[in-house]
């Protein structure tokens, strides 16, 4: 591992949302049903915007091979047909937790801080460079671990959520590993100069702040 890769990996180590008090309480089994439902409802706003930000990134690629690779991410979330894909699985997670699918789809109840955080991420991918947009996705280097922790915590502490609801996370463990591996290879290849490396690290820091701000909003609203 070169020093730039080590620098990239150190960002989420210190700032990723696995350290956020809301996630610590989630994993310790301390969240009320209302808090967990509030998190699922607000995270749906993040989920449904992931393919939107990925479409902005897709439009910046200029080779079929790279577009093909990134298109898979959009399909992972949107599915190949109605009733499939990650967004559908997140809706089922909501239903397993007692939320109404139409309520999730309406977007009502999404907190202002969550909207701003998600807008921040989508706008970085729309207006930033390709390097910044891809580097920002590298929080996913840490996502499979937090998802494994979350699955175990849900099974242990929140048995009132039907196990079927956990499918989103179970499938995402593999998808997140593949996504982050591909994105890391691109960033290491593109960012050879110190200026680019610093911009990649800054984008990854910003993305950690997006996830942190999202949880700050949820933590403050439902406690």
Ligand X SMILES: O=C(O)c1cc(C(=O)O)c2c(n1)C(=O)C(=O)c1cc(C(=O)O)[nH]c1-2
Residues that bind ligand X (CB under 6 A): 50, 137, 139-140, 143, 146-147, 172, 211
Q: Considering the complex, what minimum distance in angstroms separates the CB of residue 9 from ligand X?
A: 13
Q: Considering the complex, what minimum distance in angstroms separates the CB of residue 143 from ligand X?
A: 4
Residue owning tokens 């910044």:
132
Q: Considering the complex, what minimum distance in angstroms separates the CB of residue 166 from ligand X?
A: 12
Among residues 91 and 146, whose Cβ is nearest to ligand X?
146
Number of Cβ atoms within 10 Å of the Cβ of 173: 15
Q: Considering the complex, what minimum distance in angstroms separates the CB of residue 56 from ligand X?
A: 11
Among residues 28 and 194, whose Cβ is nearest to ligand X?
28
- Yes or no: say if 203 and 132 are a contact pair by the CB < 8 Å rule: yes
Separation between Cα atoms, residue 183 and residue 201, nearest integer Å: 13
Among residues 166 and 191, whose Cβ is nearest to ligand X?
166
Among residues 37 and 172, whose Cβ is nearest to ligand X?
172
- What would the two tokens of residue 202 be? 């800054």
Separation between Cα atoms, residue 198 and residue 31, nearest integer Å: 38
Among residues 111 and 134, whose Cβ is nearest to ligand X?
134
In the bound complex, which residue of the shown chain has the CB atom lying closest to ligand X?
A: 139
Separation between Cα atoms, residue 198 and residue 155, nearest integer Å: 40
Number of Cβ atoms within 10 Å of the Cβ of 189: 8
Q: Considering the complex, what minimum distance in angstroms separates the CB of residue 207 from ligand X?
A: 7
The end-to-end CA distance of the chain, in Å, is 42
């Amino acid at each position: 591992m070169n020093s730039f890769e080590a620098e990239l990996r150190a960002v989420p180590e210190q700032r990723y949302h696995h350290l956020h008090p809301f996630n610590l309480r989630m994993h310790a089994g301390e969240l009320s049903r209302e808090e967990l439902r509030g998190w699922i409802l607000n995270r749906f706003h993040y989920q449904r915007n992931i393919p939107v930000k990925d479409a902005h990134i897709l439009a910046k690629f200029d080779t079929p091979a790279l577009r093909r690779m990134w298109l898979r991410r959009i399909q992972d979330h949107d599915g190949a047909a109605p009733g499939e894909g990650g967004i559908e699985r997140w809706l089922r997670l909501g239903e397993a937790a007692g939320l109404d699918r139409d309520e999730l789809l309406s977007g009502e109840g999404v907190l202002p801080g969550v909207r701003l955080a998600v807008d921040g991420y989508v706008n970085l991918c729309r207006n930033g460079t390709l390097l910044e947009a891809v580097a920002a996705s590298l929080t996913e280097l840490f996502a499979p671990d937090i998802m494994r922790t979350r699955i175990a915590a849900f099974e242990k502490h929140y048995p009132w959520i039907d196990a079927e609801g956990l499918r989103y996370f179970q499938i995402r463990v593999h998808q997140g590993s593949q996504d982050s591996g591909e994105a890391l290879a691109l960033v290491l290849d593109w960012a050879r100069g110190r200026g680019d490396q610093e911009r990649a690290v800054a984008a990854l820091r910003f993305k950690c702040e997006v996830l942190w701000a999202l949880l700050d909003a949820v933590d403050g609203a439902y406690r």
